[in-house]
Amino acid sequence: MPPASTPIPGDDPVNPLHSLPIEFVGSFPSPDVRLDPPQPEIALVGRSNVGKSSLLNALVGRRQIARVSGTPGKTTLLNAYRLPGFYLVDLPGYGFARASKRDRQTYRRLLDGYLAQRAELAGVVWLLDIRHDPSEEDWTVQEQLAASGRPVLVALTKSDKLGRQAQQARTERLTALLGLADDQVQATSSRTGSGLSTLGASIFALVQAEKGA
């Protein structure tokens, strides 16, 4: 198997993030970590097992820059990746099955701290499984994101699990439930690559907006 940083040929070439050079910067326990050099950041946020690692890998066209796990579990670290002109910051997954009240509070504080402290945060990509309405923990995250005023894109994951009509119906329902604009919500599949070019373009636009700000 080629190294994790080698682009996979043939994947969604119009996605602007695909095949960009990408480098793992490190894992950090605290949201106030300084990344060097400072440049815009895009955060990835989602429930454990929603498909966050798979989406990150698929977006940048790498087999395993982020680790895909069969067993959802507790990670409390932020993982930062450097690309030309911006960072992708993968926040820990929330809402894993055995999470205690204290785990939930810890996550809540981490996310609030991250949203408040990152001067370079260009936007958040929030992942939801296209098949399910938001859970209680998803709604908590939704409130935190809304309160932060940060730009948000929603990636609906695992769209390959539904037929085309059901995908459209679920996308419309979730967009309405969350009170978002159509262009903030994108159905995606890491398995087929569907939706990745649109999501990649939206992420790219947020980075450019932050640079122009």
Binding site for ligand GDP (CB under 6 A): 46, 48-54, 68-70, 72, 93, 157-158, 160-161, 189-191
Among candidate residues 137, 203, 180, 159, the one with its CA nearest the CA of residue 54 = 159
Q: Give 51 or 123: the residue with its C-beta nearer to ligand GDP.
A: 51
Cβ at position 26, least distance to ligand GDP in Å:
18
Q: Give 51 or 210: the residue with its C-beta nearer to ligand GDP.
A: 51
Cβ at position 208, least distance to ligand GDP in Å:
27
Interstrand relation of 86-90 and 185-187 (parallel, antiparallel or unpaired): unpaired
Q: Give 64 or 208: the residue with its C-beta nearer to ligand GDP.
A: 64
Cβ at position 201, least distance to ligand GDP in Å:
19
CA distance 70 to 75: 14
Q: Give 144 or 194: the residue with its C-beta nearer to ligand GDP.
A: 194
Cβ at position 149, least distance to ligand GDP in Å:
25
Question: What sign for the dihedral angle of Cα 179, 182, 184, 185?
Answer: positive
Cβ at position 37, least distance to ligand GDP in Å:
27
Distance between start and end Cα atoms, the chain: 41
Q: Give 187 or 203: the residue with its C-beta nearer to ligand GDP.
A: 187
Q: Give 170 or 210: the residue with its C-beta nearer to ligand GDP.
A: 170
Residue carrying the six token digits 């670290």: 77
Residues 60, 24 contacting (CB under 8 angstroms): no
Cβ at position 87, least distance to ligand GDP in Å:
18
How would you list the strands of the sheet with 41-46, edge to edge? 23-28, 78-83, 86-90, 41-46, 121-129, 152-157, 185-187
What's the longest Cα–Cα distance across the chain? 45
Task: Find the helix packing angle between 101-117 and 136-148, rounded to 10°.
Answer: 20
